[in-house]
Amino acid sequence: MPTTDDTVRLKPKQLGALIILMAEARIVTNNELHEMAGCRLTGDEWKSLSKAGLIEQDKIGQVLTFQLTEKGWRFCKKLHEAAVNVGNSTAARSIFVLLGGLHRSLDRLRVSHADFFKQPSSTVPGDSRARSAEGDIETDIRTAYRELVLRPGQWVGLADMRDRLPDHDRKAVDTVLIEMAQMKGVRIIPVANSKALDDRDRAAALRMGGENHHALSIGAP
């Protein structure tokens, strides 16, 4: 088993979750982990990752969400160097060969793993008008959020937020929301209890990572 700082022993499922969090470069729910890898992190599994400082977790209702910390990114960057008992699994061995090649290539190009895996922007490079338009939408989203909460970090429904952006195209807002989800302090999550959602909530959902998301939180800068 690999270790972090020779103090924490990680299970194969935890390693798989860390790789997914790196590849997605965003907040990932336990449901998404199950969809992508066929497994979920249990309490002991995610708590030990959190104690090791590798992930941040949150829970809204029944939804557990995870994302890498800065320490987690550093660990994943050198994951190929960890001593992992993969037995005779060709697929598992190949993954670590791939991670090693990725590390060498990004190091040579001087590109961070976080920048490499970050979801691409739909803005055309060099198109200052597109960048300006997206900047305006982000500003309006943040303004709408501040008007809806008493303090930073509180959760608001996307339906309430969209009601305050009637002049913006729905697809353009979705594009900016997906980009904002990669930013520090911004979280957009699904609501696991579908019975708590009404038609308005469902209609306002943001499709991201193969799942509908319904709530937005923006922390203090």
State how far the Cα of 82 lies from the Cα of 104, in Å rounded to an integer.
15
- 203's tokens: 């209609």
pLDDT of residue 213: 92
| Fold of the domain built from segment(s) 3-117 | Arc Repressor Mutant, subunit A (1.10.10)
- 146's tokens: 């501040």
pTM, rounded to two decimals: 0.51
State how far the Cα of 25 lies from the Cα of 198, in Å rounded to an integer.
30
pLDDT of residue 39: 83
DSSP string, the chain: --EETTTEE--HHHHHHHHHHHHHTS-EEHHHHHHHHS----HHHHHHHHHTTSEEEEEETTEEEEEE-HHHHHHHHTGGGS----TT-HHHHHHHHHHHHHHHHHHHHT--HHHHHSPPPSSPTT-HHHHHHHHHHHHHHHHHHHHH-SSTT-EEEHHHHHHT-TTS-HHHHHHHHHHHTTSTTEEEE--S-GGG--HHHHHTPEEETTEEE-EEEE---
What residue has token string 């104690």? 51
Exposed e or buried b for every residue in 34-52, given b needs 16+ CB within 10 A? eebeebbbeeebbebbeeb
Which residues, including other chains, have CB under 8 Å from residue 84's CB and lie 6 or more apart? 1, 2, 15, 92, 96
Q: Are 152 and 219 in contact (CB under 8 A)?
A: yes
Going residue by residue through the chain, which has 221 residues, state the pLDDT in tens, using 9 for 90 and above: 444 444 456 777 888 889 899 888 888 888 888 888 888 898 888 998 999 899 988 865 567 888 888 888 888 887 776 655 556 667 766 777 788 888 888 777 877 777 788 765 444 444 444 444 556 888 899 999 999 998 899 999 999 999 999 888 888 899 899 989 988 899 999 887 778 888 999 999 999 888 899 999 998 65
